Amino acid sequence: KQEVTQIPAALSVPEGENLVLNCSFTDSAIYNLQWFRQDPGKGLTSLLLIQSSQREQTSGRLNASLDKSSGRSTLYIAASQPGDSATYLCAVSPRSNDYKLSFGAGTTVTVRA
Amino acid sequence: NAGVTQTPKFQVLKTGQSMTLQCAQDMNHEYMSWYRQDPGMGLRLIHYSVGAGITDQGEVPNGYNVSRSTTEDFPLRLLSAAPSQTSVYFCASSYTGSGQGFYEQYFGPGTRLTVT
């Protein structure tokens, strides 16, 4: 059974600092990995999707890396802003014919103005 | 596009009552799913569907039923609500690329359910 872990559970940084969020998974036989953002009381919004053949994916200030062999992904957010305050979740997709996403519990980020 | 919509937004049930949570998407996605989110536990998959007439169980299916008669709709039924089903329920949809795995997942805003 795939286990997905996100450490730390919470993170507080001053505005302008770069954020580094970690996601680890136990089974390296994944199809892709997604990072999501969740604001309080809201649904999830997809940020980045990395296919298993990719090493990284970028969108604006966000960069996600993937190291399948070590079972790790890292989400970098450059020059954090108070609007980046949210919970960030990663989810791992298994083989292409298995549609059961496994989610981490998330990292709650607070960016202090 | 409305994306993924869920109704109701909030619901309070008494133990033993039944209800249906509605989910609809207008993106012609083959894949739809239901998750529950509980504090400190992340999202757990309840049931999913890869097309009309095709459903399967996820990680925590007990106490829930689903059916999918159309591409657009995927309702979740609680037959006899229990306090352990108090949670936030999310519906999600995605393309599946003809068996090539997930594309980007789109989530609805959630239904907050309390069972007393």
Distance (Å) from the alpha carbon of A30 to chain B's nearest alpha carbon: 10
CA dist A34 and A51 (Å) reads: 9
Compare CB distances from A93 to B44, B101, B109 and report the shortest one's residue. B101
Q: Looking at the partner chain, which of B40, B45, B90 has a beta carbon nearest the beta carbon of A105?
A: B40
In eight-state DSSP terms, residue B73 is B
Q: Which of B42, B59, B92 sits opposite A106 (nearest CB)?
A: B42
Contact B92, B43 (CB under 8 A): no
Chain centroid to CA A107: 9
Q: Which tens digits make up the pLDDT trace of A46-77?
A: 999 998 889 999 999 999 999 999 999 999 99
Host H or E run for residue A92: strand A86-93
Mean pLDDT, chain B, integer: 92
Per-residue pLDDT of chain B (116 residues; tens, 9 = 90+): 789 999 999 999 999 999 999 999 999 999 999 999 998 778 999 999 999 999 999 999 999 999 999 999 999 999 999 999 999 999 999 987 655 556 788 999 999 999 99
Q: Identify from B74, B89, B102 which residue to disrupt to test chain A contact, counting A C-beta atoms within 10 A and taking the largest count.
A: B102
Q: Where are the beta strands (DSSP E) in B18-86?
A: 19-25, 31-37, 43-51, 54-57, 64-66, 76-78
> B42–A99: do the CB atoms touch at under 8 Å?
no
The pair of three-digit structure tokens given for residue B23, joined into one six-digit string: 């989910």
CA distance B17 to chain A (A): 25
Task: From B112, B44, B32, select the one nearest A42 (Cα to Cα).
Answer: B112
